């Protein structure tokens, strides 16, 4: 069916509903004040080999969220969202033909059974950071072979595009998010999206319009469901179990976003540059984060060696490597935590 064959009044109503979702998303993303990390710095923990690769190649790696050490990095958020959606169904009875009922059931399927289907699991890559550069729990993870924390400058106020680095794949965008550990707050964040967005489709005229236009490619049911799911995904990628709250984690989330221009996408002509490393006998996918300006270095402000290393000798080696690779005026120090692993 050609676009001109759709009922014009129905198209206008559906377009208006879609515009309200866009307005809601825009206010959340670009008008609501963003949190900033303490002192404008965030710290990335890594091994000696990781440090060497970051400095010598002038790049960071964002690892597929489904292959991180904690296998529930992303699926935990799906569980929280499912609870919120189930609670909405229990508190908001609707007739079977209700559009909002259909959307909620569609979201449950999207973040539930359909996750097992490759066509639904969208690639998500994470680079993880902490607010603290001398955290014992992180040294326990990376200190076995000599760990380091790298401090990255976080520009203000634009946390959406101001990382100082960007994804190498031209169809992905990256965004800072601060991890939320409190489960009740996580549920509130989900409801703060669902309630106002679903209310748009409780309007009978809008529901009839959506039924009329069916799968209109610009704002039909499938498109609306995909956009709502994308807005929710943007929120739940910041959820983590409260057992990890000592980490005070932030993430750079790399993915293809529904409502954000994806760089210079050439309609799939150029293969997405996804790389693989080995870990614990398994292949792990990752993408590279490279400087926003190729002529510049990653925005590294400082490096700290872990408590397992001799501070003096470790610091000398780090300074030599930084200088050789053009990283100047970087503060280098060692951990004073009195522990050996």
Q: Where is pLDDT greater, at 202 or 73?
A: 202
Band (pLDDT 50/70/90 cuts) for residue 292 is: confident
The pLDDT, as a whole number, for residue 294 is: 85
194 CA to centre of own chain: 19
Q: What are the phi and psi torsion angles at 257 (to 5°)?
A: -95, 140
The pLDDT, as a whole number, for residue 262 is: 60
Q: Any idea what DSSP says for residue 31?
A: I
Band (pLDDT 50/70/90 cuts) for residue 3 is: very low
219 CA to centre of own chain: 25
**Does pLDDT of 204 surpass 70?**
yes
Nearest Cα to 74, choosing from 287, 279, 232? Answer: 232
For residue 96, with 0-12 CB atoms within 10 Å meaning exposed, 13-18 middle and 19 or more buried, which class applies? Answer: exposed
Residue with tokens 């200088």: 323
3-state class of 152 per DSSP?
strand
- Return the structure tokens found at 57: 């190649």
What's the rounded mean pLDDT across residues 265-288? 83
pTM, 2 dp = 0.90
Arithmetic mean of pLDDT over the chain: 87
**Does pLDDT of 271 surpass 90?**
no
What's the rounded mean pLDDT across residues 305-325? 93
Q: Domains of the chain: which residue ranges? A: 3-260+272-334
**Mind listing the pLDDT tens digit for each residue in 129-187?**
999 999 998 998 876 667 999 999 987 655 555 678 889 887 888 889 999 999 999 99
**Does pLDDT of 39 surpass 90?**
no
Alpha helices in the chain (DSSP H): 8-26, 48-57, 75-91, 99-110, 136-142, 183-200, 204-213, 221-236, 311-324
DSSP string, 221-269: HHHHHHHHHHHHHHHHTTB--GGGGGG-EEEEEEE--TTS--TT--TT-
The pLDDT, as a whole number, for residue 143 is: 63
What's the rounded mean pLDDT across residues 300-305? 96
């Amino acid at each position: 069916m050609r676009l001109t064959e759709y009922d014009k009044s129905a198209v206008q109503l559906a377009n208006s509903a879609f515009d309200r979702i866009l307005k809601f998303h825009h206010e959340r993303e670009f008008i609501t004040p963003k949190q900033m990390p303490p002192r404008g710095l965030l710290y990335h923990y890594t091994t000696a080999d990781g440090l060497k690769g970051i400095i010598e190649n002038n790049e960071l790696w964002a690892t597929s969220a489904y292959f991180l050490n904690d296998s529930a990095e992303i699926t935990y958020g799906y569980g929280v969202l499912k609870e919120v959606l189930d609670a909405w169904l229990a508190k908001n009875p609707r007739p079977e033909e209700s559009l909002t009922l259909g959307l909620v059931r569609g979201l449950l399927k999207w973040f539930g059974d359909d996750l097992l289907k490759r066509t639904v699991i969208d690639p998500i890559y994470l680079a993880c950071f902490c607010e603290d550069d001398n955290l014992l729990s992180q040294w326990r993870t990376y200190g076995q072979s000599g760990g380091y924390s790298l401090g990255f400058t976080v520009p203000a106020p634009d946390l959406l595009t101001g990382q100082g680095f960007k994804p190498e794949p031209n169809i992905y965008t990256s965004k800072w998010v601060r991890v939320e550990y409190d489960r009740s707050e996580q549920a509130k964040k989900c409801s703060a999206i669902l309630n106002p967005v679903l209310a748009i489709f409780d309007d009978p005229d809008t529901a009839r319009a959506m039924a009329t236009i069916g799968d209109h490619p610009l704002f039909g049911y499938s498109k609306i469901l995909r956009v709502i799911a994308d807005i929710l995904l943007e929120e739940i990628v910041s959820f983590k179990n409260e057992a990890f709250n000592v980490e005070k984690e932030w993430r750079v989330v790399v993915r293809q976003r529904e409502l954000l221009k994806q760089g210079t996408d050439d309609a799939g002509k150029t293969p997405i540059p996804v790389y693989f490393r080995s870990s614990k006998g398994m292949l792990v996918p990752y993408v590279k984060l490279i400087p926003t300006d190729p002529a510049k270095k990653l925005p590294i402000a400082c490096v700290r060696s872990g408590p397992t290393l001799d501070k003096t000798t470790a610091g000398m080696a780090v300074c030599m490597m930084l200088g050789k690779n053009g990283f100047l005026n970087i503060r280098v120090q060692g951990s004073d935590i009195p522990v050996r692993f």
